[in-house]
RNA sequence: GUCCCAGUAGCUCAGCUGGAUAGAGCAACAGCCUUCUAAGCUGUGGGUCGGGAGUUCGAAUCUCUCCUGGGACGCCA
């Protein structure tokens, strides 16, 4: 069985008078260094009970211990009881497990086929897909895949920002300065220019903002010309976004944006009124939330609705259509308050499913220590960054592997891999200072490093004419042990990533495994020794499988050659 | 002003529910390709874990306080 439970059983034998199994289980830790063993039990807490020094307790425990086959050795060091796993047995068991389960290795069934909706990416129509939206897109995509790996049925929702006063402003700008031909040729960049120009002009002329609001009112009232322009901008934007999603390998089950909920908000307001939750305050309608939070604004003084109203309608709609057990919102850090309010309002409305809602926040993409601003045109376009990355990857390939087929495809995989990995490798709540240089780095702890390791493993399997077999795996290389430990840890890494909604757990995992493999590769000639070749290739194959699967969970492809 | 998040090596960051001499990568320097992909491997140097106090056998980790940076705080999304 599980190594840890086996160790608990051994300890329980001697310590049952003072500690129960679950307590023991929580006390066991992983030693800092591999040389100290595989599992450790600290004896410091027992010092008081036994009135002896931790060192002596460890020594006595060790002396009296009867080890099952799973363990090879036990040592008492500095007040710790350290056990060493039986390397050959564990190695063979782990490799065979990975080989037999293939890409299903590491699956953990937490979800039981329940539905999890994931609201992510959600760019604003008629604005460029900026670096800021990259974060939500790649984090959400990874979480969807991780959730599926954990047995959930993931529904990917792109909650497009396709409604609001901004469209009124854009229509004003277009009617004043727009050129149909230019917009058709290069929709996003032209629309951005118009948007920026509008804000510059509005600083001089306040009346422009009023005009914008008027046009938005027309849009809400169903004015034909306004709707025509709106749906044109929406279509063009969507096409641009699709290009980026294809490049990144991201897809959605629903692209209902905010506009979709226009006719679903009356019901929400009605429900709120029925439950007597709606209060008037400064001529606006709000829901008051106890605690210390400010009230949630539902309706403006002029009777129009807000972001929160639409999000309420969306949450209810999603529960009705998908019957989700969990629902994630992958939206920036700065909206924490909004989601706290939203969830509390839903709780007050009596929806039990509010417990499954979670705001998966992330830090901002900063430029010179500050937030990037679309209004001032200070944006970095994701498409440009991706294209830079792909070009750089291509240059590398031409230089390093000139005979490679399908250079363009591999360049795409490696370039986007670098950008995605750079975003996912650190904890999501950290802010990221935008740095093209960092993002396009292909050496060290990067996506291409992991991809390269995968390609190396694939290459060796090709060169060694690897055939799968059911023969016993027998690994005796000491250098292989850290690979085995990492392979063993894969399911736990997935669990950590899911539970913390934290893709960086997978990124870190995959880096550790790649490092361990490269170290092994540097010290052991895998194909030279006929006797060990098949076992070693089995090890290489397990690594290849797990790297491939780990990268896939992050939304990164793993080329077999690069 | 109130609330939230962060402060670890020159830079970017790990460090799980407190535990053994604080770890990586980048950058710097020194090595390793007639032999499995050098996008790799090996080695060297570099840290008062923002400051102070407390809890504890033990604190980068928990509590308090101060400093610094960022963010949010009703008619935007």
Report, in ranges, which bases of strand B sit under 7 Å from a protein C-beta.
2-6, 12-17, 19-21, 23-27, 35-42, 57-58, 69-77
Which CATH code fits A382-553?
Answer: 1.10.730.10
Q: Is the pLDDT of residue A367 over 80?
A: no
Nucleotide with the nearest C1' to A297 CA: B74
A80 touches strand B (CB under 7 A): yes
User: pLDDT for A441-462, tens place per residue?
Assistant: 999 999 999 999 999 999 999 9
User: pLDDT for A352-363, tens place per residue?
Assistant: 999 999 999 999
Compute how many other C-beta atoms are within 10 angstroms of the C-beta atom of residue A268: 24
User: pLDDT for A460-471, tens place per residue?
Assistant: 999 999 998 877
> Which residue is nearest to the C1' sugar atom of B16, using CA?
A496
Compute how many other C-beta atoms are within 10 angstroms of the C-beta atom of residue A368: 8
What is the pLDDT, as a whole number, of residue A377? 57
User: pLDDT for A217-255, tens place per residue?
Assistant: 888 888 899 999 999 999 888 988 999 999 999 999 999
DSSP A295: P
Residues A556 and A170: their CA atoms lie apart, in Å, by 36
ipTM value, please give it: 0.95
Tracing tokens 């001089």 back to the chain, one arrives at A204
Nucleotide with the nearest C1' to A459 CA: B37
- Specify the CATH architecture of the domain A3-85: 2-Layer Sandwich (3.30)
Reported as a pLDDT band with limits 50, 70 and 90, residue A312 is very high
Reported as a pLDDT band with limits 50, 70 and 90, residue A374 is low
Q: What CATH class has A120-371?
A: alpha beta
Label the pairing between strands A370-371 and A284-287: unpaired
Label the pairing between strands A80-85 and A71-77: antiparallel
Reported as a pLDDT band with limits 50, 70 and 90, residue A157 is very high
A284 touches strand B (CB under 7 A): yes
Flag residues 403-432 of A with CB < 7 Å from strand B: 410, 414, 425-427, 429-432
Interatomic CA–C1' length for residue A390 and nucleotide B13, angstroms: 25
Provide mean pLDDT across the span A8-17: 90
* DSSP-assigned beta bridge partners for residue A251: none
Mean of all residue pLDDT scores within chain A: 91
Interatomic CA–C1' length for residue A343 and nucleotide B74, angstroms: 17
Q: Report the percent of chain A where pLDDT is more than 70.
A: 98
What is the pLDDT, as a whole number, of residue A1? 52
Reported as a pLDDT band with limits 50, 70 and 90, residue A203 is confident
What is the pLDDT, as a whole number, of residue A472? 81
Q: Is the pLDDT of residue A292 over 80?
A: no
Interatomic CA–C1' length for residue A424 and nucleotide B12, angstroms: 13
Q: Which two tokens stand for residue A381?
A: 């376009």
A194 touches strand B (CB under 7 A): no
Q: Where in chain A is the domain with CATH 3.30.1360.70?
A: 3-85
**Residue with the larger pLDDT of the pair A473 and A82:** A82
A433 touches strand B (CB under 7 A): yes
What is the pLDDT, as a whole number, of residue A216? 85
Q: Where in chain A is the domain with CATH 1.10.730.10?
A: 382-553
Q: Where in chain A is the domain with CATH 3.40.50.620?
A: 120-371
Most confident of A180-184, A323-327, A468-472: A323-327
pTM of model > 0.90: yes
């Amino acid at each position: 069985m599980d190594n840890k439970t086996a160790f608990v059983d051994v300890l329980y034998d001697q310590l049952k008078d003072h500690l129960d199994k679950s307590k023991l289980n929580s006390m066991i830790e992983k030693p800092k260094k591999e040389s100290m063993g595989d599992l450790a039990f600290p004896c410091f807490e027992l010092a008081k009970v036994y009135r002896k020094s931790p060192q002596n307790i460890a020594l006595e425990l060790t002396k009296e211990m009867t080890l099952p086959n799973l363990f090879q050795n036990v040592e008492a060091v500095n007040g710790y009881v350290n056990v060493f796993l039986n390397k050959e047995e564990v190695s063979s068991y782990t490799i065979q497990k990975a080989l037999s389960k293939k890409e299903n290795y590491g699956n953990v069934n937490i979800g039981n086929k329940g539905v999890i909706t994931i609201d992510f990416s959600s760019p604003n129509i008629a604005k460029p897909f900026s670096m800021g939206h990259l974060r939500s897109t790649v984090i959400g995509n990874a979480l969807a895949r991780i959730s599926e790996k954990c047995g959930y049925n993931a529904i990917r929702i792109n909650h497009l920002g396709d409604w609001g006063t901004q469209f009124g402003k854009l229509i004003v700008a277009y009617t004043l300065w727009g050129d149909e031909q230019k917009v058709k040729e290069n929709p996003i960049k032209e629309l951005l220019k118009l948007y920026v120009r509008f804000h510059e002009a509005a600083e001089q002329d306040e009346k422009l903002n009023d005009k914008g609001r008027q046009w938005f009112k027309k849009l809400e009232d169903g004015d034909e010309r306004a709707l025509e322009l709106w749906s044109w901008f929406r279509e063009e934007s969507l096409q641009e976004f699709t290009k980026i999603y294809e490049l990144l390998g991201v897809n959605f089950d629903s692209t209902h944006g905010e506009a979709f909920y226009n006719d679903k908000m009356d019901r929400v307001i009605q429900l709120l009124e029925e439950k007597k939750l709606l209060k008037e305050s400064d001529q606006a309608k709000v829901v008051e939330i106890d605690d210390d939070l400010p009230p949630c604004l539902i309706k403006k003084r002029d009777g129009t609705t807000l972001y929160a109203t639409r999000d309420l309608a969306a949450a209810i709609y999603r529960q009705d259509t998908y019957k989700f057990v969990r629902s994630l919102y992958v939206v920036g850090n700065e909206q924490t308050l909004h989601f706290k309010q939203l969830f509390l309002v839903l709780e007050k409305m009596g929806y039990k499913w509010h417990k499954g809602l979670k705001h998966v926040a992330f830090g901002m993409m900063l430029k010179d220590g500050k937030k990037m601003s679309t209004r001032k045109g200070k944006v970095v376009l994701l498409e440009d960054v991706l294209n830079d990355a792909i070009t750089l990857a291509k240059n590398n390939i031409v230089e390093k592997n000139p005979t490679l087929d399908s250079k363009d495809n591999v360049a795409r995989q490696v370039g986007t891999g670098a950008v995605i990995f750079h975003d996912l490798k650190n904890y999501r709540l950290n802010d990221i200072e935008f740095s093209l240089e960092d993002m396009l780095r292909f050496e060290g702890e990067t996506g291409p490093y992991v991809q390269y390791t995968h390609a190396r493993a694939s290459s060796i399997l090709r060169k060694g004419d690897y055939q799968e077999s059911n023969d016993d795996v027998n690994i005796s290389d000491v250098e292989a042990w850290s690979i085995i430990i990492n392979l063993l840890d894969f399911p736990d890494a997935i669990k950590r990533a899911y539970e913390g909604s934290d893709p960086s757990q997978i990124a870190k995992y995959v880096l550790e495994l790649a490092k361990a493999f490269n170290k092994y590769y540097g010290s052991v000639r895998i194909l030279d020794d006929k006797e060990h070749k098949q076992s070693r290739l089995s090890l290489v194959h397990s690594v290849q499988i797990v790297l491939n699967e780990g990268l896939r969970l992050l939304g990164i492809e793993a080329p077999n050659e690069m």
